[in-house]
Structure 1
């Protein structure tokens, strides 16, 4: 029975689901990129090979984190934050300019520091919130990690990259919400957040134009709405079962960024509703088993770390799919494991390693069998005043 339980455990489920998503993503990246790769690099396999290199590098980091354990790695959080901020400043000064944006820097390899910032914010916030929860101290949104997160988000916004900045700040906010903050802070957050969001949208003309194109892309289909319209056409042409692998027309220069931000549109066109539903089901399964790992975590630091990883992966997935389907405006948010992006893939693999490490630390059958059921799961909320989050017993 224990052998069967091993194969059905959350850790193994996360690994299997991630592997399937990686395989689907690799196949889709090749299909979406081989035309562009052949013309630009004279090698149809160029982007697939780059993807494979990033996967190999990510797996080295994955193995190292899995071996060391999340507690040992988390001990270096201050150094990680300093390195992240240093790289974000460096990219503004020395980064490669692409269409007026500086988002990449060469440090032996082409690296996108804003992707590292996502994981750094998760680790920093998990360490802080985990410590507060363990000591039964109140949680507030006005915390040192939140201030640092806002500073990091500002540096990313200067690149400019509003989509990634929103993801980074959103990670910090959501993790604080889940840990439990006072309701009055939630109300204040709603008002301030709405005001700040509105300001940043209309502070730059190109962002405001994206809003108008999102509201009615067909009126802008020969201009700023072109990408959204082509994405919708690609999704619609896939039908139930798709046109077949490699046979989609959208990648033949109709759909910009077909192998990166809009890879899901190519997938929908070639494998249809059935294939898209499979990917969505796998992502939902990853979230389900990730939550199981978080609830069974050995300590609250591990619990918050697992929650942060799931929020990162599912949040980006929902954002990307909503963007591709025209539900939200176009923003540079990749679909984890499906979109091409070397740094993004490496960071997602490292994030998975932390999730697996949390899961491994709580797999102690003998200890769990000797404990009462109530003691196996840490409670999120630890203060008695009104707040957001999972309430304590008796509240």
Structure 2
């Protein structure tokens, strides 16, 4: 009887040891798995914006998602991610949908501001997810990361860069308002933009690093240029107002960026890149060059006015589109979108500014550091490290 009892005890002990080793093995496996998954994603670019930033790959589902894949090439944030050696690109930007015939307006900084500014003219018009909605979607999505124990998330040189690019649809829509009302709408939009960044800064557990490109002159878009011959006098007046509003948007944006002290801000100027390419093409076509030699070499784009995807009228007078053979030779993809080659230039410019730590609000940040030095978290310096020789 005593032998049987000892045998039972040995058997139970053996079973317990087996369960213990299985549990330890699974725990080690889980920990290694979590650490591996996080290490692969600790360098990321988070994207907020409209059609010009939308990669068409989404982190959250939405009833407004447009899945209109095109072969125009990558958008600028994809080049940015590749240049910064990021592990993950998390896209919350939204494009207008091609699956509906309803009147649409693309993603805005704040849809309620649009409705207030346009009044009854906004009735029945569909809008995409605005910045407030996109930020909320990101914060909900990012809760999963914050629930991972910090010992698993510990990674060398962990960083997140946010991109915020709006203004296209604001300028297109607010240009129909009287000048003073359009200016107020722009001021309110920029104010709301930075209020959303305030929310972001308060919620995340890491220093905020944001890229906010200045707007591109929308009067160069085929969408605007197509109205030139319809009413020349009205076109000149509309162009004058649009150029003013574009300049005003950038002025208000840059002023707000230089005053913001809750994170580092880089403000690229993609318009200079595009205007230079247009100038090169024009000089080369006329076989002339300036003092610096611009115009002598073949331009990057063969077509600087004609978009790759051009609208035409068929025999039944219904809308149709004709696609070019080589999108890379066109400055524009369609009436409001740039080609993938242009997006690559914009992404390269933004990445260069980030690598050079060329922030727009150095003085504001330094003032905040001097005023609340003890409250500034370590690692707030906007500096990305790259492999040797990069």
Q: TM-score, normalized by length of structure 1?
A: 0.30
Higher relative contact order (CA 8 A, sep 6+): 1
The structure whose residues are more often strand, as a share, is: 2
Q: Which has the larger radius of gyration?
A: 2
